[in-house]
Structures are given as C-alpha cells and as structure tokens.
Amino acid sequence: MNEVPIMSDFAARYRSRADAFQAKITAVRPEQWSNQSPCADWNARDVVQHIIDMHAAMLRPLDRALSPAPTVHEDPLAAFLAARADVETLLHTPELATTTAETPAGPMSVEQHIDQVVSADLVLHGWDLAKATDQDPTLDHHEVQSMWPTVQHVPDEFRVPEAFGPGIVVYGPEVKVPEDSSLQDRILGLIGRDPNWTPPR
C-alpha cells in the first residue's frame, strides 16, 4: 500500500489560499470582468492576469514556464487552474520545492519564495477581485493575524515596479489610514490599498 506523502506547511497554505481565490473567480459574472478594481490600472480580469504573471515568476528561477493554457481573456478560471497546477507541482516535488532560488528579496527556497510572494498575493488580490465584483471582501481572520507582522516590514524593492519581471507590480505606495482602523484596513493601507475604495458606478 502506497503512503500518501505529507503535505508541507507551504503547500497546505498555498492550497487553502488558491481554493479561496478560485472560488472568487468562479463567482464573477461574465459582465463583471471589465469592472474597475482597486488597482488604478486594472480591471477584474487584470487582477487575475497579475496572479497568473506571479505564478510564472515563481517558475522562472528553475528555468520553467507556465504550461500551455487558455488566456485570461479567453477563460480566467482555466488560466488560473493551469498556473495553479504548475506551482503545486513544484510544491509537491521535494527536490524542486527545497531548491535555493535567487529572488528579488535574496536567496531562499522555492517553497519559501512561493509562500512569501504568490501565495500571499492570492489573499491580498482576492480582496481586489472581491471589491471589483461585489463579493465579500473580508479577509480571513487567521490570514490577517499571520500577515500583520510581515506586512509591517514590506521590503522597499517590493514597491519597485517590475522588480519581479516586466509589467509586474507587487505593492504600491502606502495609503495612510487612521491608527484606530481595523487590522485588515491597516494591512491594506500598508500594501497600497484604500480600504474604503468603492467601484465607480
């Protein structure tokens, strides 16, 4: 009888976040894909494109590329599922997951890179997608608690456009929020979001 491999914390965390982001994609109505998002230059479809681009950036240190798949314009869900499968292949292959990679934040294992960048991105851009398409933008309480210590120390290079590749922007300039704001709102401000943003009507 074959033993089921033990999933790493990195892989489990990615799976949970990817499931949540996937559910948000699934809930978007066709006419909502052109809706403006909280990111000034992006609509809802562009948010998913960014997530796909960040998945590609996770593969690049291993000289890999995304597998052939429908484009985000053709089918946002299929595009995400394909990119997700590529990243999960890395996370579930120990010799790949533990390989040391050169990243904009310095050398780290592939699984750490995924955890700190695209995995966390799924949570934060899930908020963007939810706000753009009239879904519940409330972040998971445990995610908020776990992100807070890290988000307080966002490296300056993460705010530099194209640090992760052409056309990729990770964090914008900080948006100041009142000191008595909720932890979620304080996190959003630190990553460059206006917590009170509402889509134009």
- Number of domains present in the structure of the chain: 1
For 164-188, what is the mean pLDDT? 83
Q: Please give the pLDDT value at position 112.
A: 96
Q: Please give the pLDDT value at position 3.
A: 45
Q: Please give the pLDDT value at position 170.
A: 66
In a domain, 201, yes or no: no
- Give me the phi and psi of 36, to 5 degrees please: -65, 140
In a domain, 29, yes or no: yes
Question: What DSSP designation does 123 have?
Answer: H
Which domain CATH number covers 20?
A: 1.20.120
In a domain, 195, yes or no: no
In a domain, 88, yes or no: yes
Closest Cα to residue 49, out of 23, 16, 83? 83
DSSP string, 26-63: HH--GGGTTSB-SSTT-BHHHHHHHHHHHHHHHHGGGT
d(CA 39, CA 158): 16
- The alpha carbon of residue 70 and the mean position of all alpha carbons in its chain are separated, in whole angstroms, by 19
| Domain extent at residue 154 | 9-190
- Give me the phi and psi of 80, to 5 degrees please: -65, -45
Residues, the chain: 201
Q: Please give the pLDDT value at position 7.
A: 77
8 A C-beta contact, residue 114 and residue 91: yes
In a domain, 4, yes or no: no
Q: Which helix (H) or strand (E) holds 91?
A: helix 76-91
In a domain, 199, yes or no: no
In a domain, 177, yes or no: yes
In a domain, 57, yes or no: yes
Question: What DSSP designation does 98 have?
Answer: T
pTM listed for this prediction:
0.89
